[in-house]
A = this chain, B = another copy of it.
């Protein structure tokens, strides 16, 4: 591990182990494993999925779909309601790969009917309680209307119904996760059966959120596909939910110490909002922007140091508060490993990551053109 400035460090062995475990879990439940690549959005990390027979992926934007298509992925779902303004890009992509898009409105369904020029797979997004996108399960009339519109599209095939139970991120126990999962499954089952009675048979059901996919051991009908993303790294948000153990977090940001105020038990790292992001949580009335570990022989990290955390960040500065014994031991020029609050938001700020073996991993970067 060679560090000069804030650098995302990925523990490759641990990451591959988690990918294998999730792939096996999907296999044992006979559901398709369609990992969401938005968390790592790296073509290099994408390759780590191939030995486990992964060939279907999910992404969060058209740009990211184009990036992974150019890296040999040919079954790609864009997990956000189709953006009408990118119709040219969707038409281009649907020529090149098996393209899956989401719709949650009659407007978008009609638009795609008219404008999509090549075979495109469509999923109706269902809202099972998160209240972001998707048609609420109470609006079955709307779901049926959308299904009929899609049926009219010459180049559209209605494949299934999909949901993201994002409210599981507010859960704080296995019990809560399980009850969200049970309700999600039963709501999706009703939607699937109602559509079936209306003539839309054999529709698939796709779910995807890291808490559920981490904690539920066995997926049952009607679930046919899972789309976890964050598990590839995990982070403090997932740790707080209970989706993972601390030693399962496989991404950290290595940051040099640049200043020290021993009299206040504070250290300042080069590593702030520009490297960690501004994601934080409050624990015991302290705002936490990250926990702090130490590198071990440049090959791994220690556990998080007790009672030590990133307490504030500005663009390039991160202020760490810790016990005096810890602060006194650290010198300016040392490197600390910061466990991120939300790995997805942290990786957005980096166009490359590094493994402990100093392998450089490149990531997708959006551009205007």
Contact = CB atoms under 8 A, between A and B. Distances in A.
Contacts of A312: 132
A317 B312 CA distance: 26
A366 B89 CA distance: 28
A259 interface: yes
A149 to B, nearest CB: 14
A231 to B, nearest CB: 15
Interface in A312-340: 312, 314-317, 319, 331-333, 335
B368 A352 contact: yes
Nearest to A270: B83
A131 interface: yes
A88 to B, nearest CB: 8
A37 to B, nearest CB: 12
Contacts of A365: 351, 365
A11 interface: no
A82 B278 contact: no
Copies in the complex: 2
A107 B331 contact: yes
Interface string A265-278: 01010100110011
Interface residues of A, number: 65
Contacts of A332: 84, 105, 107-108
Interface string A151-174: 000000000000000100000000
Given A85-B3, A107-B332, A111-B333, A278 B351 contact: no
A352 B63 CA distance: 14
A333 B261 CA distance: 52
Contacts of A246: none
Most chain B CB inside 10 Å of its own CB: which residue of A107, A278, A367: A278
Interface string A83-105: 11110010000000000000011
B354 A132 contact: no
A256 B85 contact: yes
Given A5-B85, A316-B80, A317-B133, A351 B367 contact: yes
Interface in A37-70: 38, 60-63
A4 interface: yes
Contacts of A315: 38, 60, 344-345, 348
Interface string A101-118: 000110110010000000
A279 interface: yes
Contact of A345 (B60, B273, B319, B360): B273
A85 B107 CA distance: 55
**Chain B CB within 10 Å, residue with most, of A258, A332, A344, A352:** A258
A81 interface: yes
B80 A317 contact: yes
A259 B333 CA distance: 49
A150 to B, nearest CB: 16
Q: Name the 4 nearest CB pairs between A and B, nearest first.
A: A84-B333, A133-B259, A81-B258, A4-B85
